[in-house]
Chains A and B, each alone.
Chain A
Amino acid sequence: MKKLFLLLALAVASHFPAVAQQGAAELARKEINQTASRIKSLQCDFVQTKHLKMLSDKFVSRGRMYYQQGNKLRWEYTAPYTYTFVLDGTKVVLRNAQRRDVIDVNRNKMFREIVRIMMNSVVGKCLSDDKSFKTSIAVSSTEYVATMLPLRKDLSQMFQKIVLRFNRKQAVVSQVELYEKNGDKTIIELKNVKTNVPLPASVFSVR
C-alpha cells in the first residue's frame, strides 16, 4: 500500500514542472497582451541581420521604427540603403532611392496581411492570432520567448517559424526572428525602445 502511494505521488510530482511551465506561459501571455493593449505608440532603433545560408554570410542593415495605435507604422532603413515603409491607416507608401509606390491596403489582400502581421508583431498582439499561428511561450529569468508556427498556407510557404523575444521587465518585443523555408533567418533587434511618447503626424505622412 505504501509503495503504491509512493508511486502515485511520484507520478503526480513528475507532472508538476510541466504544469508549472504551462502556468508561467499563460501568465506571460496575459502580461504581454495587457502590455500590448496599453501601448499607444512605440519608437525604437533596430538592427536587422540577415543570415544567408547559401552564402554562409550575413548582411546587416539599420533603421528606425515608429508605431502608433490606429494602424500607423513607419519602418525606415537608413544604412546601408535608404528604404521607407509608411502605413497611414489604409495606404502604404514604399519609397527607395529610385521609386515611390503607393498601395491601397484595402485592395491588396497580400499587403493587408503583411501589414497586419508587422503591426501585431511589433507590439506582441500576434500571440492572440490563433487563426494564423500556433504559439508556444517559454519563460526564462530575463525574457519571454514566443515561438509561432504558421498555420495558414501563404505564411507557411514563406516561414518555418517566427520567434518573438520579450524583455521581461517591460513585456515589450526586444527581438523578432524570422526563419525562412530556404534555411535563411532574419533577426531584428529592437533597441532604445520608447513607448507612449507622442509622435508628430509628419512621421506617418504618405506624401
Chain B
Amino acid sequence: MCRFQRACLACVSLLFLSLSPREGSAQELFPAEEGDNVRLSTLIETPRLSVSGILILFHGADGLVKGSLINEFGLSFLDFVFDTRKERVKLLHMAKMADKWYIRKVLKRDLRTLMGLLASRCDVYKNERFDISYKFQPLMDKETDSPDGEQK
C-alpha cells in the first residue's frame, strides 16, 4: 500500500469514527425487542428552563414502544407511544404546565427523531431551530425494582 493510500485510509477511518454514534456504554438506549424495557436518566434544556427526570421505554406488542417521562419525585411529565413500523409518535398525556399546542408540536417531532437516535445508540440531540438539547444516560442500577430491594 503506498503512502497516499495509507493516508486516505487513515482519513476515512477518522471520519467514520467522528460520525459514528457514541458508544459511551454497552447498555442499550432503546428497547429493540418486544418485552424489552430501558430506563434513561434524561435532561432536556432550553434557554429558559430545564427538565430532568427518568425516561422509561417499554417495547410492547405490534411494534409499539410506550414511553413515560417522570421527574425525580415521580411526577409524570409526559406519556407517549411510538409506532416503530409507521415511525409515528402519539402524545397521550402531558403535564398541565407544558400542555400547549406549540410545545406538543415540537415535542412530537423531536420524540420521533429521538427514538431513531436512541435506537442507533445516540445519547444526545439538539433541535437547532428551537435551541432544545436532549441528553440521555442509562440508569446503571437496576437492582431496586422492588421496594424490598429484591432483583426483578
Contact = CB atoms under 8 A, between A and B. Distances in A.
B50 interface: yes
B135 A98 contact: yes
B82 to A, nearest CB: 13
Given A80-B139, A81-B72, A178-B75, A54 B54 contact: no
Contact of B93 (A62, A99, A178, A182): A182
Given A54-B66, A81-B72, A81-B139, A97 B41 contact: yes
A61 B50 CA distance: 22
Interface in A80-108: 80-81, 83, 85, 96-99, 101
B37 A57 contact: yes
Interface stretch (A29-37, A42-50, A131-139, A164-172): A42-50
Nearest to A96: B52
Q: For A57, A81, A85, A101, which residue has the most chain B Cβ atoms within 10 angstroms? A: A81
A80 B52 contact: no
Nearest to A54: B79
Interface stretch (B13-21, B22-30, B106-114, B140-148): B140-148
Contact of B75 (A77, A99, A158): A158
Interface size class of A (residues with CB under 8 A): 20 to 34
- Per DSSP, chain B at the interface is strand
B142 A80 contact: yes
Interface residues of B, number: 33
A36 to B, nearest CB: 22
B147 A57 contact: no
A79 B92 CA distance: 28
A54 B72 contact: no
Contacts of B41: 81, 96-97
Interface of A: 47-50, 52, 54-55, 57-62, 77, 79-81, 83, 85, 96-99, 101, 157-158, 178, 180, 182, 184, 186, 188-189
30 contacts: A48-B73, A49-B147, A50-B74, A54-B68, A55-B37, A55-B56, A55-B58, A59-B70, A59-B74, A60-B145, A60-B146, A60-B147, A61-B72, A62-B144, A77-B72, A79-B141, A80-B139, A80-B142, A80-B144, A83-B72, A96-B72, A97-B137, A98-B52, A98-B135, A99-B43, A99-B52, A158-B95, A184-B70, A184-B76, A186-B74
